[in-house]
Structure 1
């Protein structure tokens, strides 16, 4: 999603991400008994929440990586690398907390390990779909 002034512009790729997240979440609820969503609408809203949270996490990760690259001292690189690891682990807890805050008992994502697996699969599915879309997009600038 891009922001222009006070408005938010939703791109087609954002909708594709939400669809991919919805499918992955549906598969997790189907095959992992500790991942539960009460309805399709709750699953859809959870996929939107994942999209928003993962976008913020990706921005933070990019900023920290830039700080690692820009650090002039080993201590600076080490500190920023530690922040990156903290973000990696902490982001799972943030997603668990946000999901509980927004949906309460309507969504259960299991524990840390099932959420970690869920997020890894979400990101791999997103990357795979984006590779597929990039391969099928015309190279002449149309579409």
Structure 2
């Protein structure tokens, strides 16, 4: 058994931590997002017949998959919107708007295919409409929880 000073040294912020633990401590909002996604996904499983998961572990893994996929989609959308804003002529603006629509609509098909690829028949998010509604509720829930957790005093300084 380690002595008290050894345990205290291990608990200090500068001590050695594994990469997963470091990432978790550096990204608390992403962890909260994941919890929100798990709750919303399990509510969808309970109340929407088209959304199916054979167990909690699979719903947790599905929430992780959704979190990663939606972060990539948000990144891509941000890049496209930035190109749209800097476009000076109608041609590039139309191309950026079309690309944004393709990413927005296509991402739902990507989500469905990734779920099928990783989980097969053990998890189903329904079709295009149910997964679109699920994604909208996930993002709205995420935003609502983040607003609840923001310290208004921190922004006022």
Query: Normalised by the size of structure 2, how large is the TM-score?
Result: 0.81
2:37 maps to which of 13, 18, 21: 21
**Shift, 1:138, TM fit:** 6.4
Q: 3-state DSSP class of the match of 2:124?
A: strand
> Aligned pair count?
133
Q: 3-state DSSP class of the match of 1:139?
A: helix
1:64 and 2:60 aligned = no
Show the 5 A alignment for 1:83-98: 83-98=99-114
**Shift, 1:102, TM fit:** 0.7
Equivalent residue number for residue 131 of structure 1:
147
2:116 maps to which of 74, 87, 100: 100
Tell me the C-alpha RMSD between the 2 structures.
Answer: 1.4
| Structure 1: gaps of 5 or more residues | 1-6
Runs of 4+ in 1 over 3 A off after TM superposition: none
Larger Rg: 2
Higher strand share: 1
1:30 maps to which of 46, 61, 67: 46
**Shift, 1:139, TM fit:** 2.6
**Shift, 1:88, TM fit:** 0.6
Write the deviation string for residues 4-43 of structure 1: whole angstroms up to 9, x where unpaired: xxx6723111110000000000110111111000000000
Give the Cα separation in 2 of the matches to 1:138 and 1:117. 30
Higher helix share: 2
| Structure 2: gaps of 5 or more residues | 1-18
Change in Cα spacing, 1:33 to 1:140, as seen in structure 2 (3 Å) is closer
Give the Cα separation in 1 of the matches to 2:71 and 2:105. 16
Q: 3-state DSSP class of the match of 2:82?
A: helix
Give the Cα separation in 2 of the matches to 1:140 and 1:108. 41
